[in-house]
Amino acid sequence: MEDAVRPNEQAFRAMYKRGYCTWFSLYEMTIADTKTQLPSWDCLFQLENAFLNYPSFPENPAVDASFSNTVIATGISTWRTAQGPCDLPSFDQEFFIPVASDRPTILSISGPQQSTFVFPRSFSEDDDHITLLILAWTYILSARWAEIIPGASGPEYSNCEAEWDDKNIPLENAPTDATTAVIDLGDIDDDNARWWSAVLALEGGWNASIPSDKGPILHSPWYTKLVSEKRFILSRGTKSRPLPFQHRAASFATALRYLSSYCEFHKVAEQNHAALAATLLLPVARFDKSRVQLPTPRVRRKVRLNKESICKTPAWSENLNQLDRLLSLSCNAVGTKALLNSVFFEPGVACNICGAWLQGTFAFLDSDIVQDQHILLRVLMKRDPSLGFLWLGAFIIGAQTRSLQEARQAWWKIDLHVAAWTGTLKSFIQEPVSTLPPGTEEISRADECRLMYLSHDQYYTVPPLFPFAPFGSTAITDTNIDVRQHARCETSHGLEYEGLTWRCRGGQSTVTAVPRILLRAKGGQPTDGNISVTYDNLDHEDDDCSEMVTRNIFTWLRDEDGFPVTERAIREHEWIDNLDSDDDCPITGDAQSTVGGNLHGWLLKTMTRRSNSL
């Protein structure tokens, strides 16, 4: 007897193969690229123009400091549901973003052998500055945050400073030993020196904070605590000497200039971009309660060709709007995680077989072919190159581990706001509703879900939790009133973002409207070549992923109205039947409702909405 929910072994095996071959094709494209050109990190320079429609914080935003562990900025987004002669209205959605933290992200400084991933430096950047640059960016982003967020203050220097080399050690190729790492800062003045001594102080040399209404002092989203067995010893061309105790902390613009000078002195522009990408992911590590492991810096002393100060225009000073967009993106850890895991969503894969897709996906990604973390990173980037800099940042700080674990279990967040702002396809709910041919008496359950969400009835104001669509179709006569009304509507239906209204102080608001952003297609197509697919990890019986996602989407779809009689086998299936209570997705007789299209039926809409219900 055919199973009403679970796909047969042949279909499961075919979907497993599809997952395996899709990622194999991405691997082949990655290897082909390395054969035709030297590996590069072009994705880093996407930072300068990535996600141009992502909203930055408005001027003078209103913030809610009533929580003990965070402060949030809020707004309302507006979504259009139809184009053409249709009475399906637009709807508004609450949006909020945390802008403060009650605890730091722990940064552990270790040797390269202990780091799971080391950013491969270019031939011209032979030293490792990543850790130092990340620490500098935490200060810079926090300083900009303090300028934007009302009530925030700082940064302010503490009494803690990194040590200075006052012995004028001669030029050498290996400045580090078992206990120290000597950092050559170049020919810098006292103000610049004091900034670096705060940025690299192991005990916490600076702080940017904001009070909450509950009393505790909260910190910027890039608040970190260093744990390191090695001490940083700072050195500069001018004589190192004790710095004045009272020193005004560097502003955002000043700190950006100091960092720019350091990068110019050491010629590490690429590492600086990589460090920014990694710093943007630090709120994700804190959200996941993960400790970040970074390599011990290796900074060889430089030969001074002259004593002139380096004074170039900082790279981001003329692109401040873009930096502000990246700052607001970074604050939204949940949205960033959703972007990362969106690469594992595959359009057309239904909820009851998504486990096979993920089994095949990770059978390849776990294979010996991609054991090299750098190859794995590039394969993930190939799936959606626009997210490349986020994946690189995640690998540098180790945040990819948690993301891959969640993806393996089909357990990841969906953030439709971030999806709209970045043009990222994350869920079937974002796809347009199909146009039904004349005389069609059924609608796909995926389109049924879409119309229910677009109608935004009080029971369907939250989108489905998981990205994979329900399988099969429903007789139009068995759908609820909103679906019946719009299934044959002569217009196009689909979720379309229109704009965001930020709440600002004094009861004001700021509207940010954007042009329609087309959703990007996912890279990778199952190849027709002779691929040797490994089926060792295929397990048709142990498919918890598909069971979890299927139960969730059918609970979302049928919880309010019950199951149609024609779905009795689905309702009684073991994947669905073990709901928490008898009140969930109730079994009822079809005599309970005879709602039709007349006025009486419309008035009964709040009581029961589908005829022929179980």
> Per-residue pLDDT averaged across 235-243, rounded?
70
- The pLDDT confidence band at residue 581, using thresholds 50, 70 and 90, is very low
**Can you give the three-state secondary structure of 236-294, one letter per residue?**
CCCCCCCCCCCCCCCCHHHHHHHHHHHHHHHCCHHHHHHHHHHHHCHHHHHHCCCCEEE
Report CA Rg, the chain.
Answer: 28
Interatomic CA distance for residues 41 and 600, integer angstroms: 64
Report cis status (omega within 30 of 0) of the bond before 155: yes
Residue 177 predicted with pLDDT over 80: no
pLDDT at 606: 33
Interatomic CA distance for residues 82 and 426, integer angstroms: 20
The residue type of 439 is G
At 388-403, the pLDDT tens digits run 999 999 999 999 999 9
Residue 602 predicted with pLDDT over 50: no
CB neighbour burial string for 362-380, b if at least 16 within 10 angstroms, e if fewer? bbbbebebbeeeebbbbbb
Residue 423 predicted with pLDDT over 90: yes
Residue 240 predicted with pLDDT over 80: no
pLDDT at 601: 32
- The pLDDT confidence band at residue 112, using thresholds 50, 70 and 90, is low
Strand pairing category for 292-295 and 105-110 = parallel
The mean of the pLDDT values for the chain is: 87
Which segment of 85-94, 249-258, 464-473 scores lowest on mean pLDDT? 85-94
- The pLDDT confidence band at residue 2, using thresholds 50, 70 and 90, is confident
pLDDT at 119: 79
Proportion of the chain above pLDDT 90, given as a percent: 67
Long-range contacts of 472-475 (CB under 8 A, 24+ apart): 472/444, 472/445, 473/442, 473/443, 473/444, 473/445, 474/442, 474/443, 474/444, 474/445, 474/448, 474/564, 474/566, 474/567, 475/441, 475/442, 475/564, 475/566
pLDDT at 344: 98
Q: What is the DSSP annotation of 334-365?
A: HHHHHHHHGGG--TT-BGGGHHHHHHHHHHHH
> Per-residue pLDDT averaged across 603-608, rounded?
34
Highest-scoring range by mean pLDDT, 116-130, 177-191, 581-595: 177-191
Cβ partners under 8 Å of residue 98, min gap 6: 70, 71, 72, 221, 331, 332, 333
Interatomic CA distance for residues 551 and 573, integer angstroms: 10
- In Å, what is the CA distance from 205 to each residue of 57, 136, 138, 189? 27, 12, 12, 18
pLDDT at 489: 86
The pair phi, psi for residue 520, each rounded to 5°, is: -75, 145
- The pLDDT confidence band at residue 587, using thresholds 50, 70 and 90, is very low
Residue 609 predicted with pLDDT over 60: no
pLDDT at 596: 33
Question: Both tokens of residue 57?
Answer: 């914080």
259, 135 in Cβ contact below 8 A?
Answer: no
At 21-69, the pLDDT tens digits run 999 999 999 998 877 665 567 888 889 999 999 999 999 999 999 999 9
DSSP 8-state symbol, 298: B
- Nearest to residue 577, comparing CAs of 590, 566, 568? 568
> Per-residue pLDDT averaged across 440-460, rounded?
95
196, 249 in Cβ contact below 8 A?
Answer: no
Q: What is the pTM of this model?
A: 0.91
Residue 561 predicted with pLDDT over 90: no
- The pLDDT confidence band at residue 575, using thresholds 50, 70 and 90, is very high
Tokens 């744990």 correspond to 227
pLDDT at 47: 93
Proportion of the chain above pLDDT 70, given as a percent: 85
Element (H, E) at 31: helix 9-36
At 35-46, the pLDDT tens digits run 766 556 788 888
> Per-residue pLDDT averaged across 563-584, rounded?
79
- The pLDDT confidence band at residue 244, using thresholds 50, 70 and 90, is low
In DSSP terms, 227 is beta-bridged to: 108
Please report, to the nearest 10 degrees, the dihedral formed by the alpha carbons of residues 366, 369, 374, 377 taken in order.
-50
pLDDT at 545: 95
Tokens 């120290």 correspond to 180
Which segment of 203-217, 260-274, 575-589 scores lowest on mean pLDDT? 575-589
pLDDT at 246: 66
CB atoms within 10 A of CB 528: 8
